[in-house]
Amino acid sequence: MNQKNSSTSAPIIRQRRNADISEAAESLVEVHATDGYPVEGVDQPEAWLTPPGLIQAWVAELDGHIVGHVAISRSNGEEAVSLWLKHGQGIEEKTAVMARLFVIRGARKSSIGERLVGAATEYAEQKGVRLVLDVMAKDMAAIRLYERLGWQKLGPTTHTYGDGDRTDAVCYVSPMASAA
């Protein structure tokens, strides 16, 4: 995958196509090997990238290779949605979950993660939807990214995966839409 790790052009952020899923899955497995993210799903990465309730997904393409990904989905019982609704500011029908965000190590430092989050946030704003997410407490770079982009912390949670494995996580809600 060395071709994906040395760039000669600017990254392109675009809606994911079905033809992208296989290569996005390869990149996901690479990210898992370097960062331990995600904590689940790498045994069936293509299925993990196409969760139930998927609304939209985007990829980052660099030199013709998929190097990053993000998706938004309808609520499926996520704690971040519950916390947002408990704050009394959201309604479930106008809330979506941003997840499956990753960028391979060799493509970082090019604002790709920020641009992927921007694509998802812009789409949600156009649809009148607020995004929520949970992020593993160990993933400090992701937490710094969300906070720098103005995401508001909703509170702590525990992410359960696999055969009852658990890890600490933090829930966030996207910033309010800019005034037009």
Assess if residue 5 is contained within a domain.
no
* 38's tokens: 């995600």
The answer to whether position 43 is within a domain reads: yes
Overall average pLDDT of the 111-121 stretch: 96
150-173 burial code (b ≥16 CB/10 A, e <16): ebbebeebebeeeeeeeeebbbbb
Is there a domain that residue 98 lies in?
Answer: yes
pLDDT, residue 41, reads 85
Q: Indicate the residue type of 8.
A: T
In a domain, 26, yes or no: yes
Whole domain around residue 19: which residue ranges? 10-173
Give the separation between CA 40 and CA 174, rounded to whole angstroms: 24
Q: Residue 179: pLDDT above 60? A: no
Q: Is residue 2 in a domain?
A: no
Mean pLDDT confidence for 138-145: 93
Mean pLDDT on 131-139? 94
- How many separate domains does the chain show? 1
The whole-number average pLDDT for the span 14-39 is 95
Domain of 96, CATH number, reads 3.40.630.30
The mean pLDDT of the chain is 90
Domain annotation covers residue 141? yes
Is the pTM above the cut of 0.75? yes
